[in-house]
Amino acid sequence: MMNKKLLAVSSGLALAIGVVACNSDKLTALNKNPNSPEDVPATTLFTTASESIVNQWLGGGYDLRGAEFLVQHLAEVQYPDEDRYARLTGGSTTPYFDNPYITELEDLQKVVSKGLSAKQAGLYGPALALRTWGFGFLTDTWGDVPYFDALKGDSAGGSLGPKYDQQKLIYADFFKVLGQASTDMASSSAAGSLGSADPIYNGDLGKWQKFSNSLRARYALRLINVDPATADAELKAALAAPGGLITSNADNAILSWPGDGVYDNPWADNFKTRDDHRMSIVLMNLMKAHNDPRIPIFAQPNQVDGTYTGAPNALLAADVTAYLTAASRPGLFIYPGATVYGTYGCCGSSFPSFLLTAAEVNLILAEAAERGIGGLTPAQAAGYYTAGVTASMQMWGATDATAIASYLGQPGVAYAGGTPGLIQIADQKYITLFTDGGQAWAEWRRTCQPATIQPGPAALASNIPRRLEYSITEISVNGANVDAAKTDQGADTFETRMYWDTKPQASPTWFAACGIRGQAPAP
């Protein structure tokens, strides 16, 4: 039967070739799959890339299975391998490194190319900004990564084995790209629009300018310990760039998920079938110390005594099961309703993912002011701090003005200035970055705050990892360039510090026992 089918197919193909033999265009067309187009509109690419890139870094893999445990927003209470770092080695985290290059970054690069070719800043500007946001996670997780030669494998002269670039040079290009994007989108001649194909800002170039400038401010501050001059200059440039910064929640960069069962908030999608996440004792104790109004939003009462309680990080499986009921689940806001283990929340599938917010930006400006960079002064720090905390409260749904004022007036929360003020700023940024473990982890490495973060008792390392290990795929197929990166940056281990993390003692909030098990303060 199979031979007859093959014969029929072969005969049909021979007939088709005979029919079009005098027309090579028609012959070539036989090899085109109508269901797999060779060219896709920029708008379609941008929509797909936006969903993919947010899912990549704020979703159920990198974030929920890695970064949220590293920074101890959450703890693992059934299978604590990631919490113990046992499943954060290169073999397990390879997809987090590989997938961005072959999915959303590739698509965004095509949007950039199409937009530049058509001279339409309304297409390439947002794509440049979002591409930089994604590359930021890559370099802040691994350090040196393919950047300048990446995404060129199908181009003339491109390589399937791109070199790894120094993080210092990657950051320098971030500032250049974000400056170009902001300026070009602000031009009176800016053409093109993503419109409804843009699920973040609906094609609003004014808001994309704010996003570009605010992202520039984020990266500027990240360099402050290792290169304060560049941090100062780039923060000034971000503040002076056309469009301004995201300082109001109305301008937050968010992806609002349809919640239609296909495009759901990735945390809610995870919680449909998995029940192994609980709030970490580190985050819960920090918030409980000042009766934070966000507690009942971030967490659910535990099932033992109805209080809000965190679980310790990195316990052995035999020791962690009690916390299934004794520790708080994440808040109802992120649950989809029906799950395989019960009904929680209702509308988490459509809850937005936060890419960059007014809360974070105001806290960036508060720290910059306290440290006297970017043209800001310490006298401005308290105002930015108050604005950042208030924006965070309102963003998360704690909107009662009296409750916010009461919280801000407490000893320990009221802005103190100096190094104590910098600790307050870092702690508040850590809280508001809940659900964005990658950024919270980067900020902890830069500031060493909250001070109580340290590896749990069963963690496989005695220090909080400073980076993840390179992809085993890359080691296999691009080994020479991986080796060159290790020569430049250091050993491919959790302990190796990337460029912006090489002078932690330059931070006023650093202390010698930072992140060391048994030496950092207990949570």
| CA nearest to 287, candidates 383, 388, 384, 413 | 413
| pLDDT given for residue 158 in this prediction | 67
Please return the burial class of 270, using the count of CB atoms within 10 Å of its CB with bins 0-12, 13-18 and 19+.
buried
| pLDDT given for residue 325 in this prediction | 97
Q: Which residues contact 26 (CB under 8 A, 6 or more apart)?
A: 20
Dist CA 397 CA 184 (whole Å): 35
| pLDDT given for residue 317 in this prediction | 93
Q: Which residues contact 178 (CB under 8 A, 6 or more apart)?
A: 128, 129, 132, 212, 213, 215, 216, 219
CB 449 within 8 A of CB 426: yes
Q: At 158, which CATH number?
A: 1.25.40.390
Question: 162: which DSSP letter?
Answer: P
| pLDDT given for residue 306 in this prediction | 98
Per-residue pLDDT band at 34 (split at 50, 70, 90): low
Dist CA 253 CA 133 (whole Å): 11
What value does the mean pLDDT take over residues 337-361? 96
| CA nearest to 139, candidates 64, 223, 230, 213 | 223
Within a domain: 391? yes
Q: Is 228 helix (H, G, I), strand (E, B) or coil?
A: helix
Alpha helices per DSSP H over 59-103:
68-70, 90-102
| pLDDT given for residue 161 in this prediction | 87
Within a domain: 416? yes
pLDDT digits (tens, 9 = 90+) for 123-148: 999 999 999 999 999 999 999 999 99
Instruction: Please give the mean pLDDT across all residues of the chain.
Output: 92
What value does the mean pLDDT take over residues 248-277? 96
Distances (CA, A) of 429 to 212, 421, 447, 482, 508: 20, 12, 11, 33, 16
Within a domain: 295? no
What value does the mean pLDDT take over residues 90-113? 97
| pLDDT given for residue 209 in this prediction | 98
Within a domain: 264? no
Q: What percent of the chain has pLDDT over 70?
A: 92
Within a domain: 446? yes
Q: How many domains does the chain have?
A: 1
Within a domain: 243? yes
pLDDT digits (tens, 9 = 90+) for 155-198: 666 677 899 999 999 999 999 999 999 999 999 888 999 999 99
Dist CA 73 CA 194 (whole Å): 35
pLDDT digits (tens, 9 = 90+) for 307-323: 999 999 999 999 999 99
Core vs surface per residue 89-117: b (16+ CB within 10 A) or e = ebebbbebbebbbebbbbbbbbbbbbbee
Within a domain: 517? no
CB 465 within 8 A of CB 85: yes
pLDDT digits (tens, 9 = 90+) for 380-410: 999 999 999 999 999 999 999 999 999 999 9
Within a domain: 225? yes
Per-residue pLDDT band at 13 (split at 50, 70, 90): very low
| pLDDT given for residue 107 in this prediction | 97
Dist CA 229 CA 208 (whole Å): 26
Dist CA 194 CA 204 (whole Å): 8
The full DSSP string for 315-374 is --HHHHTTHHHHSPPBPGGG-EEEETTEEEES-GGGPPEEEE-HHHHHHHHHHHHHTT-T
Long-range contacts (CB closer than 8 Å, 24 or more residues apart) made by 406-415: 407/290, 407/291, 407/292, 407/293, 410/290, 410/291, 412/289, 412/290, 413/290, 413/389, 415/381, 415/382, 415/385, 415/386
Give the pTM: 0.92
CB 227 within 8 A of CB 166: no
Dist CA 341 CA 228 (whole Å): 50
CB 66 within 8 A of CB 276: no
Per-residue pLDDT band at 21 (split at 50, 70, 90): very low
Instruction: Give the position of tokens 């870092």.
Output: 426
Listed in order, strand segments (DSSP E) in 148-190 are 164-165
CB 187 within 8 A of CB 131: no
- pLDDT of 1 above 70: no
Structure tokens at 25: 């265009």
| pLDDT given for residue 501 in this prediction | 98
- Which structural domain, as residue segments, surrounds residue 61? 43-256+353-506
Structure tokens at 434: 């809940």
